[in-house]
Amino acid sequence: MEYTTRVIPESFRGARDDFTLQFSMVWDQIKAPLIVPLLRLAVAVCLIMSVMLFIERVYMGVVIILIKLFGRRPEKRYKWEPMKDDVELGNSGYPMVLIQVPMYNEREVYQLSIGAACGLSWPSDRIIIQVLDDSTDPTIKDMVELECQRWASKGINIKYEIRDNRNGYKAGALKEGMKRSYVKNCDYVAIFDADFQPEPDFLWRTIPFLVHNPEIGLVQARWKFVNADECLMTRMQEMSLNYHFSVEQEVGSSTYAFFGFNGTAGVWRIAALNEAGGWKDRTTVEDMDLAVRASLKGWKFLYLDDLRVKNELPSTFKAYRYQQHRWSCGPANLFRKMIKEIVMNKVSNFSHLFVSNTSSVSPHQEAHPFSFPFFVCWELRK
């Protein structure tokens, strides 16, 4: 028995040493022909991506300089005329505008957002305020409903809408809101999140672009942060988002290329929204999802840098982390779902160059056959 207890451990150690030696030999044999090329490929891909990012930054810098030098304001690139009263038609000469304000347990800001929406200047019989309340707190629901009733008693055409569930979250609420019968008479829809406060002249500065330029599907305004100096985190967010607006979106708009809808502080042409398939809740970035589908249909987007809408930045790390997680994971998931559609759209646009009869193509689909698919892929990749 003593002999056995001594032999087994020694044999086991010998087998283990043999296995380690064999594994080391196998690793030495496959390391050079397999692992090294994969690492080299990964390094090459990283270098290529770095060069692409550098070229993109240089390109955007050049475009911004040219915009500043030559003053390529939106009013010069697109037709813009102020809306005028028609003696014969009266207010019916103005387009019907829907204002959507999605909410979810907004105890602190619901009065400000509803008040700002109801304070928008536009003929009273040509505007509908739609408050989409998904609140789960009964107390907050009652407060929001009472606030809507208060504005309705002042003659404001405001609708308080609720759902039995929260399917699709914000996208689901917006989608349900668009199904209401009174929406069928509307031409445009402006969307403001609960913490956004547009100035009274917001519609007078955006709607004319849509009225006089039938190829434009979206007019996007810039965000103005009222709590940017609250802490270091809000200052850092302001710097990052200011670059996004003043450079990325300005360049995309000025070059007639793709840039994403920010989910709020924008006005959609309802025809463009419907043609793109409406709101979908398949990702956490329903705003970019809609923008990609609309751009693939050929609709143009316009960004107005001098039109700014007040809002607040996340001031707690928890809120900031949640926001960044949604903004980071959402585009990657959307890219995975839409890559085939984007590639097929690019191939289809390429084939249109060799087709002489384009009578079946709508006016907003004729220009810039390559710009949208390329920039859609690039923006989603980022």
- Strand, helix or coil for residue 111: helix
Q: What is the largest CA-CA distance in the chain?
A: 114
Residue 318 and residue 314: Cα distance in Å, rounded? Answer: 9
134 flagged as catalytic: yes
8 Å CB contact between 307 and 221? yes
8 Å CB contact between 254 and 63? yes
8 Å CB contact between 117 and 193? no
8 Å CB contact between 282 and 238? no
CA 51 to chain centre: 26
| Helices (runs of H) and strands (runs of E) counted in the chain | 13, 7
| Contacts with 180 (C-beta within 8 Å, 6 or more apart), sequence order | 130, 159, 161
Q: Calculate Rg over the CA atoms of the chain.
A: 27
Q: What is the DSSP string of 256-321?
A: T------SSSEEEEHHHHHHTT----SSS-HHHHHHHHHHHTT-EEEEEEEEEEEE----SHHHHH
Residue positions counted in the chain: 382
| 256 dihedral zone (left: phi>0; alpha: psi -120 to 50; beta) | left
Sign, CA dihedral 175-180-184-187, equals negative
Catalytic site residue from 133, 193, 195, 287: 287
Task: Return the H-helix or E-strand segment holding 26.
Answer: helix 2-30
8 Å CB contact between 202 and 221? yes
Q: What is the dihedral of CA 162, 166, 170, 175, to 10 degrees?
A: -70
Q: 376: closest CA among 334, 348, 347?
A: 334
133 flagged as catalytic: no
Residue 204 and residue 206: Cα distance in Å, rounded? Answer: 6
Tokens of 101: 């304000």
- Strand, helix or coil for residue 82: coil
Catalytic site residue from 134, 193, 195, 289: 134
Task: Give catalytic residue positions.
Answer: 134, 287
